[in-house]
């Protein structure tokens, strides 16, 4: 799960355990790292020895074993005889907790991306009928390799109707009022915790979304993750504008791409039972989406340059054009973006529907491709807007 400071301990001899594990390292109370078959794993044990602690550990394994998501740490098995004792065997991830990641002052794009990944992970467990009950920075790992999010620690999770006979968890500052009061819970309890996490991730923005998430009355919060996602994705949308058919032709994507897509994915689709095969397919689709957004980017920049030509020739008032850029007003490139983004979104959905041979595969691809799509979409839009606005500021300064 997380690789940080640790204290080496003596590994029991082969006569004490059923072999195969080595290099046992204690990471924290109840949490160990060990190597098996040349690969590191996390061994999670009960912090104290008691029948109740053991039952809670077995219950956590039962919950974790039902989950399979790219942004949730994988749980493999429960073993009675490990060097650390009875333990849940979990995926080992090189990373750091969210609070430590944020101290590195990550970019706006990285903050947006990991937040969308958090929504994907929590939305997934909610669709499974579970609530996490302990969303906090220490239970969110950001990988060292790609700065991707991994959600951990489902020891306090339960379904919406039964929450383990009042053995509720939660961390002060992030736990919802109803969780602290040990009241009946539903998924809106996690919405509250996400709102508190947003204060860490976006300290100076999105105040209206954070405020609604953290309402004391849960009936005033967003009803579910999709409602929260919709509010987040529409935080900077321009005014509603009518479709302009003449611009659609500028962003029509060649039908040959669809043929190439099918050829690229045909070989990978032959076997998607392993995580490696799934990831190769997702990477291939990500490349296709990136190409589509690059095409749209070029078309939008072309329209922006046309607007500048009008300004330079005195055919378009400078202040009006500058205001349009600053306030996301109705300009030709904005119309172009809306039409093009919708077309690419439809393409992503069509490709997603072709993936997977089992319900589990299809759910995995749906979550992973949606996450990759939102990441590329955010980066491309920000790049277009930053370039247009920076150029506007530069030209404005030269005219003074």
Digit-by-digit pLDDT tens for the chain (400 residues) are: 544 433 333 333 333 334 588 988 888 888 899 999 888 998 988 888 888 888 888 888 888 888 889 999 888 999 988 888 888 998 998 999 999 999 999 999 999 999 999 999 999 999 988 888 889 999 999 999 899 999 987 655 554 334 433 344 445 789 999 988 888 889 999 999 999 999 999 999 999 999 999 999 999 999 999 999 999 988 876 434 433 444 444 455 555 555 566 656 654 454 445 666 777 777 888 888 888 888 878 888 887 777 777 666 665 555 455 444 444 444 666 667 777 778 777 777 777 777 766 777 777 777 877 787 788 888 887 887 777 655 555 455 444 4
Task: Spell out the domains of the chain, with CATH numbers in brackets.
Answer: 7-91 (3.30.200.20), 96-233 (1.10.510.10), 245-399 (no CATH)
Element (H, E) at 164: none
Angle (CA) 361 367 370, round 5°: 130
Phi, psi torsion values for 121, nearest 5 degrees = -65, -45
Q: Give the burial class of 396: count Cβ atoms within 10 A of its Cβ; 0-12 exposed, 13-18 middle, 19 or more buried.
A: middle
Q: Tell me the HSE value of 134 on the side-chain side, using a 13 A CA sphere.
A: 16
20 CB neighbour count, 10 Å cutoff: 14
pTM: 0.55
For the chain, the distance separating the N- and C-terminal CA atoms, rounded to the nearest angstrom, is: 56
Q: What does the alpha-carbon distance between residue 50 and residue 33 come to, in Å, rounded to a whole number? A: 22
Residues 6+ apart with CB under 8 A from 357: 272
Q: What does the alpha-carbon distance between residue 379 and residue 358 come to, in Å, rounded to a whole number? A: 32
Element (H, E) at 285: helix 275-312
Q: What does the alpha-carbon distance between residue 374 and residue 344 come to, in Å, rounded to a whole number? A: 11
Q: What does the alpha-carbon distance between residue 356 and residue 360 come to, in Å, rounded to a whole number? A: 8
With beta carbons less than 8 A apart as the criterion, state whether 281 and 268 touch. Answer: yes
Strand, helix or coil for residue 130:
strand
């Amino acid at each position: 799960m997380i690789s940080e400071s640790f204290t080496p301990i003596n590994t029991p001899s082969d006569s004490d355990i059923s072999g195969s594990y080595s290099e046992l390292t204690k990471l924290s109370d109840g949490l160990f790292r060990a190597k098996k078959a040349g690969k590191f794993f996390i061994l999670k044990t009960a912090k104290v020895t008691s029948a109740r602690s053991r039952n809670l550990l077995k219950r956590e394994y039962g919950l974790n074993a039902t989950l399979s998501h790219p942004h949730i740490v994988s749980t493999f098995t429960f073993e009675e005889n490990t060097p650390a004792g009875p333990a849940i065997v979990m995926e080992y991830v090189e990373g750091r907790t969210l609070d430590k990641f944020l101290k590195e002052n990550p970019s706006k794009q990285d903050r947006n991306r990991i937040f969308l990944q958090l929504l994907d992970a929590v939305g997934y467990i909610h669709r499974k009928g579970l609530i996490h009950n302990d969303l906090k920075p220490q239970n969110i790992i950001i990988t060292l390799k790609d700065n991707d999010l991994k959600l951990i620690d489902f020891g306090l999770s339960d379904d919406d109707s039964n929450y383990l006979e009042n053995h509720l968890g939660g961390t002060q500052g992030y736990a919802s009022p109803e969780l602290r009061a040990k009241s009946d819970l539903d998924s809106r309890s996690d919405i509250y915790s996400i709102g508190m996490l947003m204060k860490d991730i976006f300290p100076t923005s999105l105040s209206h979304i954070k405020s609604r998430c953290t309402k004391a009355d849960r009936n005033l919060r967003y009803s579910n993750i999709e409602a929260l996602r919709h509010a987040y994705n529409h935080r900077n949308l321009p005014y509603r504008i009518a479709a302009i058919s003449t611009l659609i032709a500028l962003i029509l994507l060649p039908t040959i791409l669809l043929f190439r897509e099918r050829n690229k994915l045909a070989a990978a689709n032959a076997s998607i039972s392993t995580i490696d095969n799934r990831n190769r397919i997702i990477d291939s689709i990500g490349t296709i989406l990136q190409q589509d957004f690059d095409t749209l980017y070029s078309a939008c920049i072309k329209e922006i340059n046309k607007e500048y030509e009008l300004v330079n020739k005195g055919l378009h008032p400078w202040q009006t054009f500058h205001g349009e850029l600053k306030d996301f007003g109705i300009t030709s490139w904005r119309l172009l973006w809306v039409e093009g983004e919708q077309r690419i979104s439809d393409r992503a959905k069509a490709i997603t529907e072709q993936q997977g041979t089992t319900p589990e595969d299809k759910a995995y691809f749906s979550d992973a491709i949606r996450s990759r799509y939102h990441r590329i979409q955010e980066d491309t839009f920000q790049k277009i807007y930053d370039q247009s606005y920076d150029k506007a500021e530069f030209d404005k300064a030269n005219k003074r």
